[in-house]
Amino acid sequence: MTEPSDTQLDLVMLHGWGMNSAVWDGCPDCWNGLSQHRIDLPGHGHSAFQPGLDSLWRWADACLDAAPERAVWLGWSLGGLVAMAAALRAPKRVAGLVLLTATPRFVRAADWTPAMPEDTLEQFHAGLTQDPQGTLERFLALQVRGSDSARETLRTLKQELAQRPTSNPDALSLGLDLLRDEDLRGQLPDIPCPALWLFGSHDALVPQGVAERVELLMPGARTHVIQHAAHAPHLSHPEQTAGLIRSFIDACVESPAGA
């Protein structure tokens, strides 16, 4: 197995639900010395969707198959959930985790109040059958709601989404199931690599209150709330977000986990 060098590290980048790997095109160029691996989730962008890809763990396996032997994994939203599963599935292959507006549990529960109501996902499920394009557009609008640059961020998201093929409807439906059903809270202490969690203070999908819960569930993890950002801080606040990610990645290079 190849360990990262002192000057270069592989970076796996996973987008969110209904998106594709073009969402990283709008990020500032802070990846000098990094080998990027922008992976489309199953059924999204250029990634095929096979019948056997029917669980979070199968999605993690598919991404691991497309990833280098060892890398830092950057996951946005649903991509963060997949990145967590990959770190649990193959801990020696994940040198670090950057979890961008992600959460181990997306829906609200009695013991997990900083989350979205399950009804919100059910509405998207119903809309996906009746009006797929309109449902995606409503989801895009929800991701930028509350950001101090919502209009510009929404325009960027739409432009980037249009650069890849339309997502597979079955993959979109399963992705909503994963957001509704998966709960990795109890497994967070089993993730051995360094982790950075980034949240937006105005995020309507993953409230900033998740940060406090993560600090209790995953001792040693770093958390940071980006002020005035919503669910896509890498687009609305690119320089700040990139700086935080780059500092974390540089620390992983200096002290590689599992080395």
- What is residue 259's predicted lDDT score, i.e. its pLDDT? 45
Let me know if residue 173 belongs to a domain.
yes
User: Which secondary structure element, helix H or strand E, spans residue 98, and what is its range?
Assistant: strand 94-100
Tell whether residue 167 is among the known ligand binding residues. Answer: no
Local confidence band at 256 (pLDDT 50, 70, 90 cut-offs) = low
**Identified catalytic residue from 15, 21, 40, 77:** 77
* Percent of the chain surpassing pLDDT 90: 64
Which domain does 126 fall in, by range? 9-254
Domain count, the chain: 1
Task: Choose between 148 and 131: higher pLDDT.
Answer: 131
Tell whether residue 231 is among the known ligand binding residues. Answer: yes
The answer to whether residue 46 is catalytic is no
Let me know if residue 2 belongs to a domain.
no
Average pLDDT, the chain: 90
3-state secondary structure of 76: strand
> Which CATH number does the domain housing residue 67 bear?
3.40.50.1820
Tell whether residue 77 is among the known ligand binding residues. Answer: yes
Question: Which residues does 89 contact at the CB level (< 8 Å), separation at least 6?
Answer: 57, 60, 61, 64
Let me know if residue 152 belongs to a domain.
yes
Mean pLDDT of 169-188: 96
Let me know if residue 4 belongs to a domain.
no
User: Is the pLDDT score of 13 beyond 80?
Assistant: yes
Let me know if residue 196 belongs to a domain.
yes
Mean pLDDT of 34-58: 93
User: Is the pLDDT score of 142 beyond 50?
Assistant: yes
pLDDT 10s digits, 221-252:
999 999 999 999 998 898 999 999 999 998 87
Q: Are strands 94-100 and 9-14 parallel, antiparallel or unpaired?
A: unpaired
Task: Choose between 14 and 258: higher pLDDT.
Answer: 14
Let me know if residue 3 belongs to a domain.
no
**Identified catalytic residue from 231, 234, 236, 237:** 231
